[in-house]
Amino acid sequence: MTLREMHWSDIETLAALDVELFADDAWAPATWWSELAERPRRRYVIEEQDGRIAAYGGVDVAGETADVMTIAVAPDAQGRGAGRAMLDALVRLATDGGAEALLLEVRADNESARKLYDRNGFETLTIRRRYYQPGDVDAVIMRRHLVREDQP
Ligand SMILES: CC(C)(COP(=O)(O)OP(=O)(O)OC[C@H]1O[C@@H](n2cnc3c(N)ncnc32)[C@H](O)[C@@H]1OP(=O)(O)O)[C@@H](O)C(=O)NCCC(=O)NCCS
């Protein structure tokens, strides 16, 4: 797999994958455009395999805290470590940007994502009750402390 920066020419494919992977919470092409064009603090990357998008994700890095904006693995690439690799890439981007902690928000009913975060150093900070509508699904806010290599 190859890690590369996201580019505007990826947007059509990403918007289609988002509908498959996030249904009602998918980002429309206009959202992707604005994320790439108007948000300089955000870094979006893609894991490519055989010329196809296997995984994608992004972080917002602002001072001591960074936020995961999105993370996803294409349906036919899931369950083989691509999610973990993308999470590692986002952790590196956040750390290199100077952040000391990485925050994310996950639906309480998203078992595969929660397992990924639980096993990779994230702890639950707080729960926002009935945050996702429709469906009354809680949002779980998680945090991982980051360690910079130049720190003693
Ligand atoms: C969540 C997601 C990114 C995981 O990606 P993935 O490539 O399938 O995950 P990996 O193969 O790297 O597995 C990472 C861990 O998650 C767990 N996992 C992955 N798929 C799982 C599943 N379907 N059910 C339960 N656990 C699962 C594995 O146990 C693995 O842990 P381990 O390595 O300790 O065994 C992927 O399922 C996805 O894109 N889902 C749709 C979009 C989404 O929900 N994104 C997260 C939004 S917060």
**What CATH number has the domain bearing residue 91?**
3.40.630.30
User: Based on the structure, what is the number of domains in the chain?
Assistant: 1
Q: Can you give the pLDDT of all 152 residues of the chain as single tens digits?
A: 899 999 999 999 999 999 999 998 999 999 999 999 999 899 999 999 999 999 999 999 998 999 999 999 999 999 999 999 999 999 999 999 999 999 999 999 999 999 999 999 999 999 999 999 888 999 999 999 998 766 66
Could you tell me which of 40, 72, 68 has the C-alpha nearest to residue 56?
A: 72
Is residue 71 in contact with ligand 1, taking CB distance under 6 Å?
yes
- Domain span at residue 14 reads 2-145
Q: What is the pTM of this model?
A: 0.93
Q: Whose CA is nearest to atom 40 of ligand 1?
A: 72
- Which of 93, 94, 4 lies closest to 53, judged by CA? 4
| C-alpha 29 to ligand 1 mean position (Å) | 24
135 lies in a domain?
A: yes
Is 150 inside a domain boundary?
Answer: no
Runs of H (alpha helix) within 39-143: 82-96, 111-118
Q: Indicate if ligand 1 lies below 6 Å from the C-beta of 130.
A: no
